[in-house]
Every structure is written in C-alpha cells, then in structure tokens.
A and B are shown apart, each in its own frame.
Chain A
Amino acid sequence: MNPAAAHYLDQCRALAGELPGRRVGWLQDRRRAALARFEEVGFPSQRDEDWRYTATRPITAKRFHTAADRDPSPPVTAAQLDALRIKGLQSHRLVFVDGLFCAALSDRSEAGAASGVVVESLARVLEERPECVEHALGSVTPRKQHGFTALNNACIRDGVAVLLDANARPAAPVEMLFISAAEDGFAQPRNLVIAGKASKAGLIERHLSVGEHAAFTNSATEIVLGERAEIDYYLVQTQSPAAHHICGIWAKQARASRFRCHTVTLGGALVRNDLGVELAGEQAHCDMLGLYHIAGTQHVDNHTTMTHAAENCSSRELYKGVLDARSRAVFHGRIVVAKGAQQTNAAQTNNNLLLSRGAEIDSKPQLEIYADDVKCSHGATVGRIDADALFYLRSRGLGEAEARALLTFAFVNDVVGEIAIGELREALADTLAQHLTDNP
C-alpha cells in the first residue's frame, strides 16, 4: 500500500471509535467491507482507464487531516455564513463545517412544514433509527467502486439524510452546505436521499470554503427514487482555488421517476465529479446537466455513467464548459444500455469553449449497447469565441472585454436557464457574470 493510502487508512481507523451507529451490525459490516476494498485498491492511478486524464497527485502528495469532534462553537461565524447564502432563497438548511454538523448554523424551521418529510443529520438517523436507511445506504454506490468511494463507505460519518414518504413534498428546497474551513482539513460528507412514491423535492448540495486554505473533500451521495418520484438535484462547487474535491452522486430510479441532476463546478483546484444513474424501472427519465467554468490551473473531471437497465427509459446529458488560462477539463460520458432495455432513448452532448491557448479539454463518449432497438446519440464540440459575433457586438458599442464576457455567458446560458430554483439560477448567473469580468 502506498504511503498516501496508508495515511487515510490510519485516519479511518482512528475515527472508528467516533462513528455513529457503532452497534448497528449491518452498518459496521458495510464499513468493514469497504475498508477491505480500500486496502485492496488504494487510490486510482492514471493507469486506470477511468482516471487516465486525471492525476490524483495533488491530493495524494499532501496529508489532509480529519477534523476531530470539537466544542460547540463552530469555526465559521453567522456573518461568514450569511455572505455565502443564496440571496432570497428560503431553504431547509443543514450546514457542515469540515465534515461536522453545525446545528447553530443550520436552519430547519421549515423542515417540519410538510408532512412525511425528514431532513436530518445522517449521524443522528444512524444513531436513532438506522432501520430507516438500512435498505438504501451503500446500496447505490457501485459495486466495483474506486478507492475514494470505498474510503467514504469505510467511514460513513455524517451528512444529510432526506427521507420522503410517499407523496411528500417539502415546501422549500433542501440546502446542504459543506464548508471547508480548517487548513489541510479532510472531510467525507455522506448524503442519502430516499424519495418515496410520487414524492417531489429540490435539493442543493453546495461545497464552499472560508479562507483560501487547501482542503480535501471526498463526498458521496446516494439517491433512491421510488415510482414516479421527482428529484431535482443541484451540485454547486465554489470552493477555494486550493481545495480538492472528489465527489460521487449515485441514483437509482424506479418506474416513471424523474431525476434531474445539475453539476456546476466553478471552484476547486482538482475536482472530480462521478455521476452514476441507473434507470432501473420502465419509463424513467433522467436529465444530467453540467456546467464548468474554470481558469488558472484548475482541473475538473466530469465522469458520468448512465445505465439504461429497463425498457422505455430516456436520458439526456448536456455538459457545457468554459476553460480559461491553463485549466483543464475532462468529460467522460458513458452510456450503458443493458440487454433487454429496448426503446431506450439516450442523448449526450458536451460543448466546450476554450478562452485561451493553454486550456485543454479531453472529451470522451463511451457507448456500450447490448440491446438492438435503441436510439443513442452523442456529440462533442470544442470551440473558441466567434470572431464575427465579437465584432458584431463591438460594432454596437460594447467594449471587447464586455463582448467576450457576454458571448461566454451566452454559451452557457441554456444550461443555467434549466435551473428550476429561481434564486439559485439568478445567483449563479451573477456569479458567472462576476467570474467573467474577473477573468476577461
């Protein structure tokens, strides 16, 4: 085992005595199995096809440390949190700092507003009613998981649990805030969403930083959608340029359910988003929308797997990226159509805009089709700012920087436009506009 993996194995073992639900047999079994998996595979290297374009060295070369349980005063003040809030958004908000739940910063005043809705710290659920999540926790992450996922599974600690009964509809979106504050902190948020039959909710998972410290977040989220459930999920990454984030979101969809996942990556140094969706019941539909706008030496890897396991399902992927300076992005879109998944309709698009000569994108579709009556399409483009459009805008009096920013914004505007939560959409549009003015 290499020294980096050994370090995290130690971190994991040291934490074992503090984990919630230590007397829950099935949970401990799953943790042990995942730990064994991690010991076996360690961290992925570029020899792994799925990690070919992404070196984990920025993470493995450093030693990040788990935050220990601390006194109740959080290292983030209410004023600091206010600055990070989405303007005008009313939400059920759970806040975690360096992986630890902060009740003082959270706002669950509206959580009980709808019946059949539980929005709770996962640790608390594991302590008080683990049986509610036994069937789901750890069941959606892939079986042949890479070392990061195994590491998260090995020490499931805390995060958000959203449990929706049949027909439950929370009045406001659920907002999960994961803030990195400690220097060289290591956090492993773990979220679980169980959406009962015909339930409907909007969930926002945000990763942010206070300060410019280096940090390593290794998050995992599982989402189980019941029949006709509708989940709108937003992953918004705006961490500091020194933060690393390995992120996994896995969803399993029952019959006629709808899952929309929006992945927005603006911050972070090395960010990897693994997104895996299994359309397990007929007539399920999934939209995967992605947006990355990066600069400097940022590296963002979006790795998606859309598995059509049942007949008559449809999926659509649209990822758009803007790359400036010497940033680098990877898009790897895998579509698997299982034998028997007839009448599948799957579309995948990845469009990129390169703003500088030093930026680089590796875009790779991967289609594995084992059924014969399917419609599958994919397309990738890489382009630059259109000179004619730039001149057109300038000839109407817009300055060059403003015209470039406008064209760049226009490029991603359709993805932004698909964000259904108005306050989030506007906040992101503002952030992007700011981003564009800062990096003309």
Chain B
Amino acid sequence: MLTIKNLSANVDGKPILNGINLEIKAGEIHAVMGPNGSGKSTLANVLAGREGYEVTGGKVRYKERDLLEMAPEIRAREGVFLAFQYPVEIPGVTNLYLLKASLNAIRKHRGDDELNAVEFLKLIKEKAALVKMSEEFLYRSINEGFSGGEKKRNEILQMALLEPTLSVLDETDSGLDIDALKVVADGVNTLRGDDRAMLVVTHYQRLLDYIVPDFVHVLHGGRIVRSGDKSLALELEREGYGWLAEQAAAP
C-alpha cells in the first residue's frame, strides 16, 4: 500500500530525514519510535503533504501512485489521514460543518453520493458514541476550548468517520491520561482491517499496549536504524534510547 524509498526531507533548510525506507502492506500496523528530534513527526507531516516540509530526495508510492505529487486534499480524498499531534483550533467553524464537508468531499471524490443532513447526523452520532464524545462537541467550534484529550478524541472521531485506508497517527498518545488513551485506542482498533494500514508514531511504548503493532521501527538521525516486531518496543521501554547514541558513536 505504501512504499517509502530513500526519503529525505528538510525543514527550514535543515536535513531531518536522511533516507527512510519503509514498506507498509494492507492490513499491517507499523509503529515508528524514536527519541525527540529523530524525525518521527517530520515523516508523518511529509506523508500528509504539509507545507514547509521540503522533500529533497527519494520516492513515496501509495496505492501504486506517486504520493508526493498529490496536494494534501487529494491525499485525504485518496484515503490518507493524519491524526495531528497538535490539532488546530478554528473558531467560527463548527466541528459538525467540517466533518460533513470532509466526508462529502471524500465521497464525491470516490464517486459516491453526498450524504444529506439527516443521513449524516445519524452517522456522526454513532461515531461520536464510539469515541465516547458528547454530541455537544459536534456543535462547538473546531477544537476551540477543547482539552488536550478532547482534541485527540476529536481526531479519532474524524478518523472513524472518514475510514481512511492509511492512517498516520502522530504522537496521538501525548498528553492523554490512561482512560483517554484507552478510548482513543479502541477507536483506532475498530478501524483495523485487511484493507487498511496504519503508521503509529510515538515516543512511548505505552500506546502500543493498546494498539498492538505488527512491526516496530526505530528512527534515529532521520534513518530507520532498527526494525523488529512488537517486542522491540518493550526492549526500548526497558533500555531507553541511550544505546542509539552509543551505536552511532561506535565505529
């Protein structure tokens, strides 16, 4: 589904990604872990097409197409979803408005009929219940005045509604207490399926207790320095990231 080949990228003229190689197949969950500054969030943002992240080399193929050629909205319509580390507050636009506009943009792109107000409301209420979000949040401005946990839950609500083919979760666990973490993980797990894939970017192993990955990759200095199964995450939890620096220093 997603093939990343030798991907390099700069942020503000500084090289952050230095040759990433990664293959994600349908049905798989991949976790990318690493210390602060290793390039985890950059990878997530490059995949979503954020401005200011300049790709300097390499290729990304998504469903047999060049992902990097696509505008952010086309990526979204093609099924790529980024759950933001810091969801943006947008006063003056209701959550409901965005959710409906978003779903219908994607449906239209796929050639499906747009949902009318009644159909949409029924659907979104089901999804809100799934992430244990009170309906009142639907009528509030996007993320405005939401707590950290509510913002993250709102991301998962969007994800649950849009049912993306490839979900990229950027530090979705940061700032969550254990109850919120479980709710978020439940939401994510209901989206697991043979035709979907996920890339879970996280600093801590904790999230992976609830969203169990098939593969774990360790990012350091803008490269994947080690890959393994879920046990690698536990090893990192035990030993920290210190060994990376030693390994880098070794001849």
Contacts and interface: CB of A to CB of B under 8 A. Distances in A.
Interface of A: 386-389, 391-400, 402-403, 406-407, 409-414
Contacts of B71: 394, 400
A392 B72 CA distance: 9
Contacts of B97: 406
B91 A410 contact: yes
A387 B98 CA distance: 17
Contacts of A393: 90, 98
Contacts of B88: 386, 388-389, 391-392
Nearest to A391: B50
A292 to B, nearest CB: 17
A196 to B, nearest CB: 38
Contacts of B76: 394-397
B90 A391 contact: no
Interface residues of B, number: 30
B73 A398 contact: yes
Interface string B80-112: 011010011011110001100110011001000
Contacts, number: 77
Contacts of A409: 92-93
Nearest to B90: A389
B51 interface: yes
B158 interface: yes
A391 B51 contact: yes
Nearest to B52: A387
Nearest to B48: A395
B92 A397 contact: no
Given A391-B50, A397-B77, A406 B72 contact: no
B49 interface: yes
Contacts of A396: 76, 98, 101-102, 105, 158, 162
Interface in B223-248: none
A383 to B, nearest CB: 13
A399 B104 CA distance: 12
A437 to B, nearest CB: 14
A398 B101 contact: yes
A414 B82 contact: no
Contacts of A386: 88
Contacts of B72: 391, 394-395
B161 to A, nearest CB: 10
B105 to A, nearest CB: 4
A413 B102 CA distance: 20
